[in-house]
Amino acid sequence: MNHAFLPDTVTISNEILDPCSVIVMERQREIDPDHVEILRSSVQTLGVQLVPALVSRRPGGELVLVDGRHRLEAAKEDSLGLRAEVYEGLTREQEQLLELESNRARKNLSAAEALDAWETFDLPMYELRAKEKQAAGGLASLQARGVIDNAPVTDALGNWQQKAPVSIAQAAKEATGHDINWLRNIAAVRDLAHAEDVPEEVRAVAQRGYEKLKTSTAKVGPVVKEVQKVHEAVLRQAEDPQVLLERNAEERLDEMVRHTTLLQERLENSDFRDVLTLAAQKDQMGRESLRAVRMALVNALSTVVVVECTVDGSPSQSLQRIGGEVTHLLSSQSMRQLGLEVRRG
């Protein structure tokens, strides 16, 4: 297990402890009786507890369990000594970090614990290293350019090259094995579960969801979807009908912009123009179909123009202005595509 985050003042010793002398903190997981039985059978068969528990000896002499709840319970039930790594000099925060690190080493962290490890250990460590690299990079740059006294003068940045920084997303992937959005989704559920300014129904479903995420077998996706579903439904119910109507209208307008833009791109494609030309040249029916397309587009355009004129508040003046814009654009675009622009020598 990685002990790099522990200061040099922390000492570690291997000891056999009386299991009844070890204090179990509230944050420790509930025990699984089946797991305890497996550990008891292993000790009875092998005659030894293979993996030591982790225990913190605090300044007052109290022995506090850091990791190994099931091993402790197995030792208690069989009245055996508990094999343990005893850490002295840990702060409360370092005890929790050690617990998270040991659980992660066994790859059985729950989603909630993975988020806790990321926020309390991995992210601060990433930010600290990023600052250290930035400071080191600035120093190397100054030395390379001879800005600092007694530094050799070289051209540009000399031979110093900074490695590309690791992004937070990359750091999250390396530390947890999951995408950064996976962590953000867990954090969103947790924050809703603790929020006081959200409807009770939303907070309740978020609290149930977050409790599920505290188990190592819970899947994050279904929990997040359920919380989002309830949250969005409650927000819609509480929303002003007029605001809801306006938002729906905005969404439909945005959708119309996307559809018409795609239609424009499709019609302006030279291959598609060739297809239309070929079909229209075949017979009179083809030309009538082409005319039907034009009439449909004109009628659709007139509807948009009417809406614009209505919104502007002065229909007659707006129609004159918008009509002029449409006429000019239609004429200039058609002449350009037909190659009929007026050439000036």
Q: What is the pLDDT of residues 9-60, one digit of tens each?
A: 899 999 999 999 999 987 666 788 888 888 898 888 888 887 889 999 999 9
Which uninterrupted H or E stretch holds 328? helix 315-338
> What are the pLDDT digits (tens) for 8-20?
889 999 999 999 9
Fold held by 11-108: 3.90.1530
* pLDDT at residue 151, as a whole number: 45
Instruction: Supply the mean pLDDT for the chain.
Output: 83
6: closest CA among 74, 84, 95, 71?
95
Residue 156 CA: distances (Å) to CA of 133, 134, 143, 262: 20, 18, 11, 49
8 A C-beta contact, residue 213 and residue 189: yes
* pLDDT at residue 153, as a whole number: 39
Whole-angstrom distance, CA of residue 85 vs CA of residue 63? 11
* pLDDT at residue 152, as a whole number: 43
Which uninterrupted H or E stretch holds 64? strand 63-67
Amino acid at 237: Q
Q: Helix (H, G, I), strand (E, B), or coil: what is residue 25? A: coil
8 A C-beta contact, residue 112 and residue 176: no
Which uninterrupted H or E stretch holds 205? helix 200-212
Strands, E assignment, 211-333:
none
Positive or negative CA dihedral for 199, 201, 202, 208? positive
8 A C-beta contact, residue 289 and residue 279: yes
Of the pLDDT bands very low, low, confident and very high (cuts 50, 70, 90), residue 108 is low
Q: Is 61 left (phi over 0), alpha (psi -120 to 50) or beta?
A: left
Q: Does the pLDDT value for residue 64 go beyond 60?
A: yes
311 or 1: whose pLDDT is higher? Answer: 311
> What are the pLDDT digits (tens) for 233-283?
887 777 677 877 887 899 899 999 999 998 888 888 878 888 888 998 989
* pLDDT at residue 3, as a whole number: 64
* pLDDT at residue 118, as a whole number: 84
In Å, how far from its chain's centre is CA 54?
A: 32
* pLDDT at residue 104, as a whole number: 67
Among 50-59, 136-145, 148-157, 168-177, which is the least confidently predicted range? 148-157
Of the pLDDT bands very low, low, confident and very high (cuts 50, 70, 90), residue 89 is very high
Q: Where are the domains of the chain?
A: 11-108, 114-236, 240-268, 275-345
* pLDDT at residue 2, as a whole number: 59
Residue 171 CA: distances (Å) to CA of 121, 194, 276: 12, 27, 53
Angle formed by the axes of helices 33-46 and 69-77, to 10°?
60
218: closest CA among 105, 66, 114, 100?
114
Residues linked to residue 64 through DSSP beta bridges, in sequence order: 23, 56
Whole-angstrom distance, CA of residue 260 vs CA of residue 306? 17
Q: Does the pLDDT value for residue 107 go beyond 70?
A: no
Q: Does the pLDDT value for residue 157 go beyond 50?
A: no
* pLDDT at residue 28, as a whole number: 66
